[in-house]
Amino acid sequence: MLTSAAFEGLSWNLWADIVGLFDFPFMVHALVAGTAVALVAGPVGWLMVLRRQTFAGHTLSVISFPGAAGAALIGLPLGIGYFGAFAAGALALSGVSRGDSGTESRESAATGTIQALALALGLLFVSLYHGLLNGVSGLLFGTFLGITSTQAAVLALIAFAALALLTVAWRPLVFASIDTEVARARGVPVRALSLGFLLLLGLTVAATSQITGALLVFALLVTPAAAAQQLTARPMLGVALATGIALAVTWIGLGLAYYSIYPAGFFITSLAFLVYVSTRVRSVVVRA
């Protein structure tokens, strides 16, 4: 249950409101989980935007729908269906990824087909399931009330593993993302990197959706990265800015959700969008 202060909303004492966020363990767990998610969403999102794979990222988020619904249908934990669906989706998308010899239009068409199939399967599983789907609704639209210490620890471990893998593959991955043909000619394993990045992207989408929900996952994956790329073309600075923006909107969004009746996903998405619009306006003013 929330405190009475949370029901009353924000006060004029900002410091007391900040301290109040740590009154209950569930909110501490949410902040830990949100921090872990933002730390990995920043760099992975920056690469996703650089590689022009935002449509693939959106498809992976949609795939959570049949994954969670299918798991509920056969009596498995939702998390198994959730992460399993992302792995299967990443493998399916890898066949038409940038590491393949196909054109970009072919990749988009195949990705859209996979997304349509995922939605159809999700609707089928929901129609076959006759129980309550509150857990699935939480996965789709986001919630922070039910995050446990175990979930927060798992998300922290996932973030650590993802960042470690990304650090190892960073240089060749950026090279292959900027110029695929030249990287292939230099002996860079472009196809393997493409598959590896899609798996990493799926893992990140799965983790991010625990906070924002699958339908709002772009709030942390795309928007901070897009805003950062409006501010600088330097890779490391861009990644740092994307991560900083993701952390800021996550912390503020969770805090606002705690003191209101509205979901965290709404606040995180709105704040991220506001930052992006601000960077776009800045770019227009600078060019004028």
| Tens digits of residue pLDDT in 21-43 | 888 888 888 898 889 888 998 99
Residue 170 CA from chain centroid, whole number: 19
Find the helix or strand (DSSP H, E) in which 137 lies: helix 134-141
Most confident of 127-136, 176-185, 236-245: 236-245
Q: Which residue has the higher pLDDT, 144 or 259?
A: 259
pTM here is 0.80
What pLDDT does residue 101 have? 42
Taking each helix axis as running N to C, give the angle between helix 64-74 and helix 190-212, from 0 to 180 degrees, rounded to the nearest 10.
70
Picking from 65, 62, 72, the residue whose alpha carbon sits closest to that of residue 114 is 62
Task: Single out the residue of 32, 55, 68 nearest to residue 107, CA to CA.
Answer: 55
The mean of the pLDDT values for the chain is 80
Percent of the chain clearing pLDDT 70 (strictly above): 82
Instruction: State in Å, rounded, how far the first CA of the chain is from the last one.
Output: 52
Render pLDDT for 138-172 as a digit per residue (tens, 0 to 9): 556 666 666 778 878 888 888 898 899 999 999 99
Average pLDDT estimate for 2-30: 72
The residue among 228 and 72 whose pLDDT is bigger is: 228
Asked if residues 60 and 89 have their Cβ atoms less than 8 Å apart, the reply is yes
pLDDT for 1: 40
pLDDT category, 102, cuts 50, 70, 90? very low
Domain coordinates in residue numbering, the chain: 9-287
What is 9-287's CATH number?
1.10.3470.10
